[in-house]
Chains A and B, each alone.
Chain A
Amino acid sequence: MSADNQLTRVQRDDLRTIAGMIVPASDEYKVPGADDPAIQADMLATLGRDTKLVAAALDHLARLAGQPLAELDAARRDAVAQEFRSSGGAAAATLVRIVLQCYYRDDRVLRSLGLELRAPFPKGYVLPDGDWSLLDPVKERAGTLRRAT
């Protein structure tokens, strides 16, 4: 890591590559991959308290790959990614979580999922009251509360 507690250029490159492996772009679903520049920018801007663990995860990834991840052939890259996920512990889990939490708040992704682009408050959501006659069998069956004596 550089002195200002940000990721180095090499780490950023590997983050982009691994993010694209976790969630690649899809023409079918009309969504970008997690290596999309805007999503990457969101990750870097909001790493915050997770910076240290993500950097540790990327260091672990770099050790496994031995060179920039993007430069490996596809088979080797997949093998490194699998090893990274299985041996990376809390640091790898944090990196994956950062990738997913930034990916699944991107407007294009939420739109593709049919979700509204807004915070829950203040509009909230409508919840159907449902058919409470479903409870009738429970009422009919009744039961007895266990006595204390």
Chain B
Amino acid sequence: MKDPVDVLIIGAGASGAAIAWSLAETKMHILCLEQGGWMNPAEYPSTGRDWEAKFYGEWSSSPNVRGRPEDYPINDDNSPIKVVNYNAVGGSTVMYTAHWPRLHPSDFKVKTLDGVADDWPIDYDALTPFFEENDRIMGTSGLSGDPLSPLTHPPMPQQPLGLSGAIIGKAMNELGWHWWPSDTTVATMDYEGRARCINLGHCTPACAQGAKSSTDITYWPHAIRAGVELRTHCRVREITTDESGMASGVVYYDKDGVEQFQPAHVVIIACNGVGTPRLLLNSASNRFPHGLANSSGLVGKNLMFHPYAQIYGYVKEPTDSNRAPPTCLWSKEWYDTDLSRGFVRGYGVQFVRGAGPVFEAVVSEQKGILPWGEDHHRVFRKLNGHRLGFSAICEDLPEEHNQVTLDPVMKDSHGIPAPKIDYTISENSRKMMEHALARGREILETAGATDICVNSPIPWGGWHLLGTARMGTDPERSVVNEWGRTHDVKNLFIVDGSIFVTSGGVNPTSTIQALALYIADQMKQRLANLFD
């Protein structure tokens, strides 16, 4: 049998990397098991002429389309929003837009302020130092001083406004609406061994330049130098427990597919809002018949995605197309509750600079605005390089019927039951999306855009996987306590997006990582009585 480790982390993505790095200073024996491997930037799409085509195959954001050995299938047939993720060292930070807003202070008090959902058991202030620390390590760029966003101190200046940003800014000024350069994790200058952005454009499916921050090139090199062991191509099947109900280790399949048992004194799950409930439910035992840490019955429940309402159009002037990071500006004009709009809570907006020629042709043909035949060339030249987009990230409120369970049939390549998603978009979210589309249309028309098209929701827009092992002080209404420890198993922690109580209306990765650092800090402060 293998020697026990002090801390075993499952998952080397956004949160797993952050907590591994933070705990490394304790000099405990820390092991991380990751089902994927190390990425090779030389193989990233933007290094080849067929960079756009790859997004439809091996570099698809959908694990079901991609189907790499490192991926597990997800049955999301019963959901209008499909799960997207990435499985590797770095996790989904390898494949994300690097848009970097934080939850707002008001997002932690949703029940108090708006009478819906629940308040978090912690507040924004508890996370502030960890947001700052995380921004420094991930390396953020932006412009401090946004009047409608929490104060940030990005170590690098904001991205250029570019052609698209200027058009959007003028339209927003004409309408009198808020906009601001986004905080991003795109390096705008050389930073901590990362080269500055050179506008490869195809940022989302990994950055060959290394300008986009992902934890394989930020946290992990530091954590490994500090002594953390990272074992790749190791897929955890279940967490085991001993006779006293404590986690005793994990059963996993190694890179050769051989079943292994790794004992551990502390287990930390960092597998995202789908992978984490899947693992807990797959860890059912006689003592925990409904899944591990599931006495509340809430493991897998309250899945929140952020339905995206996207609208885009075409202006006469050239836009940045694929020659820049895809997102550059945000707006918080409609972030906070205004009941006169017909819904509670709100949405953040991210503006999109444009698209490359293949994507433009494929999507425009599907939308029916790019014809077949003789007129194809004229219309394509009108569209290509002229696109502007608006995407609203709508706050999804927790609803128990939106859930992750185990699929009774589908299994991954190791025979482990796959997750099944049941999800519907709420009436409140639908109203929010309609509102956002109307505002987006106003903006685009003010900018002079025509041929306006809508994707609502973005079908393959399930980037944000939240809420399925929620945080709270009441063991009957939550899965983990206010510092990430499961109520039921006192040496089992969860640090990923599944512990979100509410989703806010912004991309969550910054907050996920701040939470992971906060939980690490709480653990370090309690090392002497961690299991009390």
Contacts and interface: CB of A to CB of B under 8 A. Distances in A.
B49 interface: yes
A147 interface: yes
A64 B374 CA distance: 23
Interface string A120-140: 111111111111101101110
Contacts of B255: none
Contacts of A97: 56, 362
Contacts of B69: none
Interface in A28-85: 28-29, 31, 46, 48-50, 81, 85
B36 interface: no
B361 interface: yes
B199 A148 contact: no
Interface in B230-254: none
Interface in A1-49: 21-24, 26, 28-29, 31, 46, 48-49
Q: Which of A22, A29, A120, A121 has the most CB of B within 10 A?
A: A120
Contacts of B39: none
Taking residues whose C-beta sits less than 8 angstroms from the other chain, chain B's interface range is 35 or more
A147 B148 CA distance: 11
B27 interface: no
B166 A119 contact: no
Given A130-B160, A145-B105, A135 B180 contact: yes
A134 B202 CA distance: 27
B60 to A, nearest CB: 10
Given A101-B358, A147-B106, A148-B106, A93 B209 contact: no
Q: Is the interface of A mostly helix, strand, loop or mixed?
A: loop
B173 interface: yes
Contacts of A123: 198
A31 B53 CA distance: 21
Interface in A79-106: 81, 85, 93, 96-97, 100-105
Interface stretch (B90-98, B107-115, B132-140): B107-115
B46 interface: yes
A26 B374 CA distance: 8
Contacts of B176: 137, 141
B361 A24 contact: no
Contacts of B324: 125, 127
Given A138-B180, A145-B150, A124 B200 contact: yes
Contacts of B365: 22, 96, 100
Interface of A: 21-24, 26, 28-29, 31, 46, 48-50, 81, 85, 93, 96-97, 100-105, 110, 113, 115, 117-132, 134-135, 137-139, 141-149
